[in-house]
A and B are shown apart, each in its own frame.
Chain A
Amino acid sequence: MSPNIDNPAYLLTLLTGGLTNGALYALVALAIVLVYKTTSHINLAQGEMATLGAFAVFALTRHGVNVWLAIAIALVLSFAVGAGLERGLIRPLERRGIFPVILATLALFLIINAGVAIIWGTSPVAPPRPFPGGIEDKVDVIGGAPPFFVTHVSIGVLAVLVVLLLGLWLLLEKTKLGLGYRAVAANREAAEVMGIPVGRMYMFGWGIAAALGTLAAALVAETAGALDFNSMGAILIFGLAAATLGGFDSVPGAAVGGLVLGLVMAFVPGLFTVIEGDLSLVIALLVVLVVLLVRPQGLFGTKTLERV
């Protein structure tokens, strides 16, 4: 047990750290869920596509574009790329089952991962910073030792998650496009009979997912202080774990799953100092295992098992 276990400042620091990371996992989990809901596929290249998006932001800011404008441009580009990949690469494989689609996303993984390394090199670059990330950019809450403060980055990341969730909710629940998307997710064939363009809803899901991924990667780079071609490798696993925890077809589940996972991964090593080193991936693996074996549909999911 950690000696700081009864120190409120220490616990609060773990809490905000966990929530900040959890918000990032939630974003990736949301991307995975938005693809899965309609197509029943998991895009294993989601993380690499996100890295590409973050590098696009990096490239734009290096050419003097304002960081928020750069992010906006990258989001639009990511949406187009995601939707285009669904239509051009994935859709023709749809009726051949899950394995060819998995393979196609793995191929994308290889191509984008190596492509980013070829274009921007293998060593980390200083990422664009949408939020001020200096040592002094924080809000002091409790003084003393250890102190408790919240960095501007944490506030920014959590604010982005809240705004995004609100936006997604409005988009999915209050627009006709969102209604069509949910109808396809609920019952593809019935939606087709209603005249809903099913294919376009798939593209919409992929596009939104790609844009979310880009945003996540930009924020991951910001919190990590570095961006490289492998930045999102582990984050994809955390995102998958979060999606598993929340339920693969549940949007709120992805958000809750991400935050819970972030907290678990902050508090378990933070309180049990016996654990040496960074075993967060192992924790994520255990979370996935336990959830899938005990409650395969996750906390909020509905589909218990998908096509074999």
Chain B
Amino acid sequence: MAARVVLEGSRAHRLWQGSGLLLAALVVLALPLFVSDFRIGQFSLVIAYAVAVLGLNLVTGFTGQVSLGHGAFFGIGAYTTAILVTDHGWAWAATVPVAALLGLALGFIVGVPALRLHGLYLAVITLAVGVAFPVVVSQPVGIALGTGGVAGKTVQIGWDKPAWFGLDVSDRGWMFLVMAAVAGLLFWLATGLVRSRVGRAMVALRDNGTAAAISGVWPAEVKTVAFAISALYGAVGGSLYLLTTPIVSPTTVGFTITLLFITAMVLGGAATVSGAWLGGLAMVFLPYYTAEWAGQIPLLRSITDQPGLFANVIYGVVLIVFIYFVPAGLVPLLTRLRTRYLVIVPPEAAGVAVPPEAAGVAVPPEAAGVAVPAADWASSGSDTTPGAPDGGLAGPTPAIGGPLSPVGEHHPSDDPGQPARGLPSARGASQEERTR
């Protein structure tokens, strides 16, 4: 079947995008009307995890910085909300900005060593942060802050559906919709971020640090910002988590959840925004069905009384399978599937391959010159990084010479041909030099 070709940014493209979003919104609204509260609880958890996974993806998938401490970011958000709600009587919604800010601060602190360290050293630092966090909250110093020690912190967030809300949903369903709204906002901001100058600087840094530095990306600034934003998303994910689960304990925010976040990110697709949803779904439903399945098989039941443990084995196997066979994750696969029916062409590419007036005419995707994301995920493009910069000096690498744009600012029409404003600071360049 021939595919339909759509020019990126054209009216047809916006129409497709708009109807897709509308459909998604309708599905979300409809869920609490037709699905049991138990399932809604599961989908709520998907939202909380998806936000956290997106945060990890921003720093690891897009910026290429190994982060093994994401559980700590998730934890600081969850604990902040739990302590403020339970001990200080705050409303949940009021705790979220505080959690977000604390997350931002912790992320910034973790990001500071990233200014000088690369690769494995950064992995070691973030790993130590991730492992130390649950220990600190269970120690006297944490208990003094109200963490509840090893037993954890219980929190009851009762949130009645307000009278003005017309749809006939349960309180659980209402909380789900609130979470969906928060997540929708965060995903929209992230999409804007990765398309902005900051986002392109992040990708440039990941693909070729030296070239990025030469073309005016400041590695230090970009890395710190990426870590801070990543932690903010993690912390908000932790706050959202408490709308689904009435307790947070050191085991909740241990190294295991970091590993699950990482697996979820790889599964959905590193360097994709939408992949975080698939990751969140896997984090909730994979252990659920695994436990059910393992509980039904007498042999497995006889080995252990905790069939949930099989889920972690499966996570590990899934992770290995994906590293080997689907390194770019599921989203690029789905995108490729979609291109059989609908091809979205960036304007530059269309200028070469398809005459402008031919947009909307059926053309086979190969002929349209659409770059299908490479299978090598380290340099994979994706639905969210159209025309990823090749990092070459003469290439389309955006010049980021000036101050960084604020978070989430959207520059859809930035001129990629803007000349670099001189060389970056010597510090930035020499830093990359030393990594050779």
Residues of chain A having any CB pair with chain B under 8 Å: 40-42, 44, 89, 92-93, 96-100, 102-104, 106-111, 113-115, 117-119, 121-122, 233-234, 237, 240-241, 244, 248, 276-279, 281-282, 284-285, 288-289, 292-293, 296, 304-308
Contacts and interface: CB of A to CB of B under 8 A. Distances in A.
B426 interface: no
A103 B319 contact: yes
Contacts of A89: 320
A236 to B, nearest CB: 8
B128 A288 contact: yes
Contacts of A110: 256, 259, 263, 312-313, 315-316, 319
A287 B135 CA distance: 17
Given A44-B127, A282-B132, A284-B128, A100 B327 contact: yes
9 contacts: A41-B120, A102-B66, A107-B263, A113-B256, A113-B312, A114-B309, A237-B128, A284-B132, A293-B113
Contact of A240 (B124, B310, B311): B124
B262 A92 contact: no
Contacts of B376: 96
Most B C-beta atoms less than 10 A away, residue of A42, A109, A237, A308 = A308
A165 B121 CA distance: 26
Contact of A109 (B135, B259, B323): B259
B268 to A, nearest CB: 14
Contacts of B209: 308
The DSSP consensus for interface residues of chain B is helix
Given A100-B377, A113-B312, A244-B124, 6 more contacts: A42-B120, A103-B319, A107-B263, A118-B310, A277-B141, A307-B119
Most A C-beta atoms less than 10 A away, residue of B64, B141, B309, B377 = B309
Given A93-B323, A240-B128, A289-B113, A106 B262 contact: yes
A293 B122 CA distance: 11
Interface of B: 64, 66, 68, 113, 116-121, 123-125, 127-129, 131-132, 135-136, 139-141, 209, 255-256, 259, 262-263, 266, 303-304, 306, 309-313, 315-317, 319-320, 323-324, 327, 376-378, 434-435
B138 to A, nearest CB: 9
Contacts of A278: 135, 139
A296 B121 contact: yes
A41 B128 CA distance: 17
Contact of A107 (B136, B323, B377): B323
A113 B310 CA distance: 11
B319 A282 contact: no
B37 to A, nearest CB: 30
A114 B116 CA distance: 35
Contacts of A97: 378
Given A118-B303, A282-B136, A308 B312 contact: no
B141 A122 contact: no
A121 B304 contact: yes
B179 to A, nearest CB: 27
B332 to A, nearest CB: 16
A41 B123 CA distance: 11
Given A233-B131, A276-B140, A305-B118, A102 B123 contact: yes
Nearest to B142: A277
Contacts of A233: 131, 255
Given A42-B123, A100-B327, A296-B116, A111 B434 contact: no
B128 A279 contact: no
A293 B116 contact: yes
B320 A104 contact: yes
A273 to B, nearest CB: 12
Contacts of B118: 305-306, 308
Contacts of A103: 262, 266, 319, 323
Nearest to A121: B304
Most B C-beta atoms less than 10 A away, residue of A122, A289, A305 = A305
A257 to B, nearest CB: 13
A285 B134 CA distance: 13
A234 B250 CA distance: 14
Given A233-B255, A281-B135, A306 B304 contact: no
Closest 4 CB pairs of A and B: A111-B316, A114-B312, A110-B316, A277-B139
Nearest to A108: B316
Nearest to B121: A292
B119 A308 contact: yes
Contacts of B139: 276-279
Contacts of A108: 316
Contacts of B434: 304-305
Contacts of A306: 118-121
Contacts of B116: 292-293, 296
A24 to B, nearest CB: 17
Nearest to A89: B320
A129 B319 CA distance: 36
Nearest to A113: B312
Contacts of A114: 309-313, 316
Given A244-B124, A281-B132, A292-B125, A117 B378 contact: no
Given A89-B320, A107-B320, A119-B303, A292 B131 contact: no
